[in-house]
Amino acid sequence: MEDSSLFQMPLAEVMSTQRAIRKVDPDRPIDDAILLKLIEFGTRAPSSMNKQSWEFIIVKDPTVKAKLGSQNRFMWNRVKGIMTRKAEKDPQFAKVNSATQWGVDHFENYPGMIVACFQGPRLAYPPVVGASVYGSILPSVQNILLAARSIDLGATFTTMPLWSNWRARRILGLPWSITPCVLITLGWPQGKYGPTSRKPVGEVTSLDQYGNRPWKT
């Protein structure tokens, strides 16, 4: 895709405005060229030893979407009670909850879905292997989220539809050697989205020793 007007948003703006967009227009499709360009940006990310051990599945088939949607709903129904109790004490959490519920209810209608997978064994030991496995796929996912944001395409990072790797593998026809990690839902946003709410930098940054927070105001 060579439309030079696309993907031109300044990086700082992209990074500071990217957020989970769940309410999208179900009837407005996303061109394959855009989906492939997003994945191409994904493949520009770092990976352990530059092994580029990723595999991306674009999901279009309504039957496959329905099966993933049912997995998503299954997991959400298991955790919803805990989330609802948490939301009673935290209005911010309540917002995430109701947005997540919306995403679960309308999952099958997302015009675009990309499942980002890791290729290779996922050993349990030593602990750094975990960092190397997920560290080899999550930067590519973030690139895709940022690239989507830069063209005003809504995207959400989701894991619940893949809660059972075993089931997700069966649904997507993945061999055992491939681990589905993140499902990104995509679509053109409906309505307006405000800014993200994030903790101030000074609250999450220490100097030299954990808890020494000179930048906290």
Residues 6-25 vs ligand FMN: string with x where CB under 6 A?
A: -------------xx-----
- Decide whether 136 or 156 has the Cβ nearer to ligand FMN: 156
Contact set for ligand FMN, span 34-73 (CB under 6 A)? none
Angle formed at CA 48 by CA 206 and CA 8, multiple of 5 degrees: 75
Judged by CB under 6 A, which of 157, 164, 165, 190 binds ligand FMN?
Answer: 157
Query: CB burial class (10 A; 0-12, 13-18, 19+) of residue 176?
Result: exposed
Nearest of 153, 145, 177, 139 to residue 43 by alpha carbon? 139
Judged by CB under 6 A, which of 68, 160, 168, 186 binds ligand FMN?
Answer: 160
Cα 2 to Cα 9: distance, rounded to the nearest angstrom: 16
Coil, strand, or helix at residue 158? strand
Q: Is 196 in the site for ligand FMN (CB under 6 A)?
A: yes
- Decide whether 100 or 136 has the Cβ nearer to ligand FMN: 100
Contact set for ligand FMN, span 75-114 (CB under 6 A)? 96, 100, 103
Report, in Å, the least distance between residue 114 CB and ligand FMN. Answer: 14
Judged by CB under 6 A, which of 140, 158, 168, 179 binds ligand FMN?
Answer: 158
8-16, 28-36, 52-60, 150-158 -> range binding ligand FMN (CB under 6 A): 150-158
Cα 178 to Cα 117: distance, rounded to the nearest angstrom: 6
36-44, 84-92, 110-118, 155-163 -> range binding ligand FMN (CB under 6 A): 155-163
Cα 203 to Cα 129: distance, rounded to the nearest angstrom: 29
Q: Is 167 in the site for ligand FMN (CB under 6 A)?
A: no
- Decide whether 141 or 178 has the Cβ nearer to ligand FMN: 141
Query: CB burial class (10 A; 0-12, 13-18, 19+) of residue 210?
Result: exposed
Cα 28 to Cα 138: distance, rounded to the nearest angstrom: 27
Side-chain-side CA neighbours of 100 within 13 Å: the count stands at 21
In the complex, the residues that contact ligand FMN under the rule CB under 6 A are 19-20, 96, 100, 103, 156-160, 196
